[in-house]
Structure formats: structure tokens, C-alpha cells
A and B are shown apart, each in its own frame.
Chain A
Amino acid sequence: MESSQAVYEALKSAGIDFVVSLPCVNLGKIMEMVDCDSDIIHVPVTREEEGFGICAGAFMGGKNPAILMQNSGLGNSVNVLASLFKLYNFPILMIMSHRGTVGEFMSAQVPMGKATPRVLDALEIAYFHPKIPEEALKIIPEAWILAKTASAPLGILLDINFW
């Protein structure tokens, strides 16, 4: 199964109907699929932090929100995750292209790539790490149920070798 198709189908079966995004080379195809889907409101944003704020508002308006972003965006969003999402118990599905992992060709991606799991741990945000498209297809809908039940953000880390 193709990786982008798997993530898109997983978002659909999870019932995600509101997506904010910032591009990553690995997320391009999913962004196009989401954008073409009239059942999903897609909001491209200027910075991931802003995207999280928009998703909190959308959740209060009755939507099931997800963010598509590169793991670098996690660094831009630490405060909003702690002092909005954790403080008020907002759920969100965080689909992260995890750069700086095995197979990375840009050294600049490595420091944030290494820090990513530890930043998530520091924020006490649970995350899954599907290795192949079939696994993502199964885990992502389960992850959203978990996020909603726990009223908490939940991460999906997709390594370079996933794509």
C-alpha cells in the first residue's frame, strides 16, 4: 500500500474532518488529498503553533481536528501544547513527518529529529511510530479514539523510511 494513501484513508476512517497543515516534502500528497476532500475543512497555516490554536477552536465548534506537520513544527508549538492543550485537555491528532531519522540526507534535520521524542516525552504526549503503511492504517484511527477518550494530544511519528 502507498504510504500517503494509507495515512489519508486512516484519517478518513478515524473521522477526522478538520485539518491544518504546513508542508513537508513527505506530506505533499496527503495535503493534496485532504484539500480535494469536500468533507474535510483544510486550513493551511503560517506556523504550527497557530495551527494548534485553530484546532482547539475547531474542536470546541464540534470538529475532529488533526495537524499535518514536520517534526520541526513541534519545537514551534511547545507552549501552545502545554498551556492550551494540556491545560484545558484538548484532543488533537498530530501527524508528524519525522525528519532527521535513519536515511536523512540533510544534517540540519538531525538535531530536532533527535530531540523530537524527548520533547514529546517532556510534554507527556503519547505517540505511536508505525513503520509501514498497513500499520499506519490500523494505528491512526485507534490513536484518535485514544486522544478523544483521554482528551489529550496524540502523536504519530512517520520516519523517513516510512515514505
Chain B
Amino acid sequence: MERIEAIKRIAEQLNDELVICNIGFPSRELYHVKDSPTHFYMLGSMGMASSIGLGLTLAQERKVVVLDGDGSVLMNMGSLVTIYNQSPENLILVVLDNECYGSTGSQCSYAKTVDLLELAKSVGFKETFLLKSDVDYKNFKNVLETKGPVFVHVKVDPGNADVPIIDLEPEKIKSRFMGEVKRID
């Protein structure tokens, strides 16, 4: 499955959840398929998606879904250890794994040889899911209702959709998102 299709199927099932989306094409693809004030699009700081998500879960009670990538998880692997130890019930870490650095030309990542789901399990994550079949995607609601921290492994094909860059200023992305966090919290 293409990554944009996986993002679309996940995004369709989100309502009030806050979303931290990884740098590069994943954010562009999410912005293209569905934009919302509940989305924080990363434009820089590769590797930081899971960390931003962790900080947000510890600061407030709303559910947070992080859309991360294999290269980014590998860049900030200590984050898995910190998340496990802090154990936020409202964090769902979704790793869109295409086994490559998709936004820079699909150079191979070590996710080809290292199973990130097994890695998360070995760190201690008790709630882990693999999204593969249509049924898995349809049941994503169950994932959202699971007490976190949850690790979701999504295997996708390499490649990026032909979508435009995000025409929002960074300050706008932040202030819009923070307004949304305050709205319900």
C-alpha cells in the first residue's frame, strides 16, 4: 500500500485526537488528504515527532496520535525508551515504515533488516499492533481506544505522492494547533 493511502485510512478514523505528523512528505500527504487544526505538521527537526507527542501527552489529557517514520524512529531511538518509562496512557505512536528515507530519494534504512515492532516489544511496549490487511485498518478504532502507550507498525511501499508543499507558516501551524488544544482541555 502507498503511504498516502495508509495515512488516508488512518486520518478518516480520527476525530478529536491531536496529531503530530512527521517532517517531509508524510506531513504533505496528510495535509493533502485531510487538514485540521488538530494536526501539527513538522517542517524540520527530523526524529522529534515521538518526542513532541510524548511532551504533549504528559501536559494534557487528550489522546495524541504521532505519525512517525522508520528513519525518524531510528534517528531518535532513545525516545522509545523514554516513552516506555513515562508510560503515557494517551499516546499512540504510529510508525509508517517504508524501509527507506522517502523524502530524500528513498535511500534504504536499516528498518529493512531490523523489525521495529519487535524492537518496540523488546523495549517493553505492551500494546503493539501491525496494520496490514483491510480488516486491520477498519479496526483502527480499537487501536484508538486502547490504553497507551501504543505502538502501531504500518508497513507501506516506498515512494511519495505528488502533493504540494504545505502553504501554512510555521507560526500559523503552531498557533492554530495550540488554540485547538486549549479548546477542549
Give the B-binding residues of A (Cβ under 8 A).
Answer: 18, 41, 43-47, 49-63, 65, 79-80, 82-84, 87-90
Contacts and interface: CB of A to CB of B under 8 A. Distances in A.
B73 interface: no
A44 B75 CA distance: 19
Chain A interface, DSSP helix/strand/loop, else mixed: helix
Interface size class of B (residues with CB under 8 A): 35 or more
B82 A61 contact: no
Interface in B29-79: 40, 42-60, 76, 78-79
Given A79-B44, A83-B43, 9 more contacts: A43-B55, A50-B48, A55-B55, A57-B55, A57-B57, A60-B178, A60-B181, A62-B185, A87-B43
Contacts of A62: 59-60, 181-182, 185
A58 B51 CA distance: 10
A48 to B, nearest CB: 11
B60 A54 contact: no
B125 interface: no
Best-surrounded residue of B40, B51, B52, B177 (most CB of chain A within 10 A):
B51
Contacts of A82: 44
